[in-house]
Every structure is written in structure tokens, then in C-alpha cells.
Amino acid sequence: MKKACVMGHPIAHSRSPMIHGYWLKALGIAGGYEIRDLKPEEFVPFISNLGGNGYVGGNVSLPHKEAAYRTVAARDAAAEAVGAVNTLWLEDGKLMGGNSDVHGFIANLDDRAPGWNVPGCKVVILGAGGASRSAVYAFRQRGVEVHVVNRTLARAQELARRFGASAHEWNDLAKLLSQADVLVNCTSLGMQGKDPLEIDLSPLKKSAVVYDIIYVPLETAILAQARKRGHRTVDGLGMLLQQAGFGFRKWFGGDPRVTPELRQLVEADIVAKTPK
Ligand code: ATR
């Protein structure tokens, strides 16, 4: 029986086993998907013998995505570009690394806000960490104009240089919002247990799409504000679901689809476990 796993630290609350378990069952594939909590010093030895440990591949979560990037024998273009690997598989005994967050990020936007890429589309991305890298790269691949806004300007500038975007401080936000067609939150603000993201969306055009990659809670304060103002909104759960199929196809084959039933299953779990 083929087995894959999700590796992280901490990782107990990962929804990936639920997603892959759903597809294994739905597609009638005899496989397994497990959680492996690995400390930083355990991670590289573990993936260096992934097959010997019983796995055909796996997902890599925080804090191991850069270590995975450094360790694999070869990487796909997305992993190469963003400097992080979140999916591992074996090819002729060699450890391969990919980045499905890039695909998941943009596929979710295509799915939930079709037509977002209007002529001359301008995107404003809040944050310049790992999550932001995937978003900036994905947008630039689509030829979209990207503005990165970050508390630490130097990080935004580094991203801007690397991918061909422009970098700004928070003070510039109101002006940028007035020109934005898509606004994306890639900071950790608004996540359960973190400070809220407090921005005023009133400069936004009515047609602008607001996307938050956070999925706990499902509807962050910024998405609620956007919904009330009549904007199309996109949440982070779709990104998690859309990125998962990439690994599944590599490990188990078949045609894993993001169905309303799958979304409902994961949504119910998040709602049940998120304090009001
Ligand atoms: P990830 O890899 O998940 O993106 P990260 O690299 O820690 O995580 O990045 C978190 C992002 O949220 C950063 O852009 C960070 O801004 P800085 O680069 O200035 O640290 C942003 N962020 C976190 N807390 C913030 C806060 N209180 N105010 C503004 N931005 C914040």
C-alpha cells in the first residue's frame, strides 16, 4: 500500500489527512496519508530516507519548506522560483521537490473570482514573507502588475526586485487601494490567535476582489468587511484544497477533484474547532 505523509512541527492540526483521505476513499485507491511531527533536526535525515521510512512522498509544512528546498535532488519551476518546497515525491529513487502553493493560490482565485484578471489589472499584496512569495510569483507568471506592501520595507523591496513588482510602506496603502483590482492579505494578521488586520477598505473600487489566504477563521474580519461592502471575496481554504491535488497525483495517480462535498467536510471541521 502506498503511503504519503505531511511533515511539520507542530502539525497535529493539519487538515491534509482529511483532504487526501477523502480522495483515497472517493477514488477507491488503497493508500494512506499520515501525520509526521518532525523536529528541525529530524527532518532532513527523515526525508533523505523517505522511501526507507515507508513513504512514496509527502507534503512539507512549516518550518521545513526551506530545508526541503535545500535537500531535494531536483525541483520544479515554482519551487525554484519561490525558494521553498512543499511537496516531495520519488522518481527513480531520487527525491524530487515541488511547490503546489503557487498553483493553489492562483487556481483558487480563478475558481472563486472568475474574470478577476481585467485588462491592466493591478494587484496589491499585503506582506512579504513566504506566503507572499508564492502569490507574487503566481501573479507575475500571469503578467499582472503587482504592488507589495509590507511593514518592513526591505523585505518588500527584495521580493519586488526578484519578481519584478513594486514595494511600498503601509502609509501608501490608501492610495494603492484606490487603484487595485485585487487585494490579497498574505500577512499573518487576522489568523486565529494573532492580532487583527485593521485596514479601511473604503478607497477600493466596488469591482475589486478581496482575497485572504488565511483559512482559520474561514471568514477573517477583512473578508467580512469586504463582503459587507459588496466586494467579491476569496478565502484561504480554497487555496489549501486546490494545492493538494498536485501531490496526490504524484503519489497515487487518479483525478482528485475539489468538490463542494470536500469543501463542506473541511469547512465543518474548521467551524467545529474554531472558537467563536
Ligand atoms: P509566512 O511565511 O507565513 O508568510 P512570515 O515570513 O513570518 O510568514 O511573514 C509574515 C508577514 O506578516 C510579514 O510580511 C510580516 O511583516 P514583516 O516582514 O514586517 O515582519 C507580516 N506581519 C506579521 N505581523 C505583523 C504586524 N503586526 N503588522 C504588520 N505586518 C505584520
> Which grid cell is 76?
520544479
- Whether cis (ω within 30° of 0) applies to the bond prior to 63 is yes
- Our answer on whether the CB atom of 150 is closer than 6 Å to any ligand 1 atom is yes
Which residues form the catalytic set? 65
pLDDT band at 120 (very low <50, low <70, confident <90, very high): very high
Helix/strand/coil for 34: strand
Phi first, then psi: what are they for 8, rounded to 5°? -165, -175
Which one of 132, 188, 191 would you pick to mutate in the ligand 1 pocket, going by the greatest count of ligand atoms within 8 A of its CB?
A: 188
Q: Which protein residue has the closest C-alpha to ligand 1 atom 5?
A: 129
pLDDT tens digits, 201-260: 999 999 999 999 999 999 999 999 999 999 999 999 999 999 999 999 999 999 999 999
- Mean pLDDT on 133-149: 98
From residue 187, alpha-carbon distances to 95, 142, 271 in Å are 31, 22, 22
The pLDDT, as a whole number, for residue 276 is 75
Which one of 65, 187, 194, 199 would you pick to mutate in the ligand 1 pocket, going by the greatest count of ligand atoms within 8 A of its CB?
A: 187
Q: Alpha-carbon distance 197 to 5, whole Å?
A: 33
Q: What is the maximum alpha-carbon separation in the chain?
A: 56
Q: Alpha-carbon distance 140 to 164, whole Å?
A: 8
